[in-house]
Amino acid sequence: MPVTAEAIRAAAERIRPVAKVTPVMTSRSFDRAAGVSAYFKCENFQTGGAFKIRGAMNFVFSLTAEQRAKGVVAFSSGNHAQAVAIAAREAGIQATLVMPLDAPQAKLESTRDAGGRIVTYDRYRENREVIGKAIADETGATLIPPFDHEWIATGQGTAGLELMEQVPDLDTLVVCLGGGGLTAGCAVIAKSINPKIRVFGVEPEAGNDYWLSRQKGEPVEIPVPQTIADGLMTTKPGRVTFPIIQELVEDILLVTDAELLATMKLMLARMKMLAEPSGAAAAAAVLHGKLPPGCQRVGVLVSGGNVDLAMLSRLA
Ligand SMILES: *Cc1c(COP(=O)(O)O)cnc(C)c1O
């Protein structure tokens, strides 16, 4: 397996200068509504507002000095771009970010604020991977993929490592699933610490590429999904992440946009916690009874909290 518990522990040291150890929160009203004891790992409070800084830091600081000198490129709907911009600033190198025109304004702005150079594209008509690769070829910069790389999944796994240390007796772990970097990394470390833990991935119903791929037993590609969970709009499982998730994840759970909004509202009203739609996906699955029976002490990864004002007013 390309992502190991040992590598995740080493990554935890590598990312420490910038990535925070985020808090774990609980809520009686959530537990009552969901019928479980939930432990929320709050990556919405992470540097850059999402867990992505973990993978980005691990990647940038795993490069050789020579590679770093040529800079880095990333394509992303937002949080990965912002994380790469922050990691690059930390390393003192140039970052170019390929971002969709319709990315949330807050994500575009904070990426620019972190010192990244932004190139925009139309997500329904242009291929971001092609644009990213062209820039990499031109400048010699290293392309940092958003999820499908062992250094990325390894870095994301540090969130799971912290949670397992903060709450040692979890029987279940629920993680949202876009390309699968976060889920793969967290599954590897969680299973290594407690082989009996049950791990679930959560996708939006519209973006059910992993769910379909599971039925088929091989990666399936879907059209760009229409969902408010902009971090979970990937169209096919990763080559690195899919086999790990096939082996370690018990099931893929699906949530609707309405369930995401209802969960965001409950988290905000009861827990004073602002999750972005993708960040609320794991909690939405737990709240809406998608877990099988027997899950009691449930780790819930809140992956991010980058919400712009338009989304906030929609919630209200
Ligand atoms: C990137 C992202 C995801 C999806 O992560 P993957 O590693 O691609 O599965 C989920 N939530 C948020 C907030 C993200 O930024």
DSSP H stretches of helix in 167-308: 181-193, 209-216, 241-248, 257-271, 281-287
Whether 77 is catalytic = yes
pTM of the model: 0.95
* pLDDT > 90? residue 62: yes
Cα(59)–Cα(53) distance, rounded to whole angstroms? Answer: 10
- Whether the CA torsion 144, 150, 151, 154 is positive or negative: it is positive
Confidence of residue 111 (pLDDT cuts 50, 70, 90): confident
Give pLDDT, residue 132.
87
Give pLDDT, residue 109.
87
Whether 52 is catalytic = yes
| CATH class in words for 5-50+149-315 | alpha beta
CA-closest residue to ligand 1 atom 5: 178
The third-level CATH classification (topology) of the domain covering 53-143 is: Rossmann fold (3.40.50)
pLDDT in tens, 247-263: 999 999 999 999 999 99
**Positions of CATH 3.40.50.1100 in the chain:** 5-50+149-315, 53-143
* pLDDT > 80? residue 91: yes
Give the residue, out of 3, 232, 253, with the most ligand 1 atoms within 8 A of its beta carbon, to mutate for a pocket test. Answer: 232
78: left (phi over 0), alpha (psi -120 to 50) or beta: left
Give pLDDT, residue 5.
98
Strand arrangement of the beta sheet that strand 117-121 belongs to? 117-121, 95-100, 72-75, 142-143
pLDDT in tens, 132-144: 889 999 999 999 9
Q: Which residues line ligand 1 (CB under 6 A)?
A: 50, 52, 79-80, 146-147, 156, 176-183, 231-232, 276, 278-279, 303-304
- Find the largest Cα–Cα distance for the chain: 55
Give pLDDT, residue 124.
84
In the chain, what are the helix, strand and coil shares in percent, each to the nearest 5? 50, 15, 35
Among 118-132, 189-203, 225-239, the minimum mean pLDDT is found in 118-132
Nearest atom (ligand 1) to Cα of 146: 8
- Terminal C-alpha separation, the chain: 45
Give pLDDT, residue 2.
87
User: Is residue 278 a contact partner of residue 231, using CB atoms and an 8 Å limit?
Assistant: yes
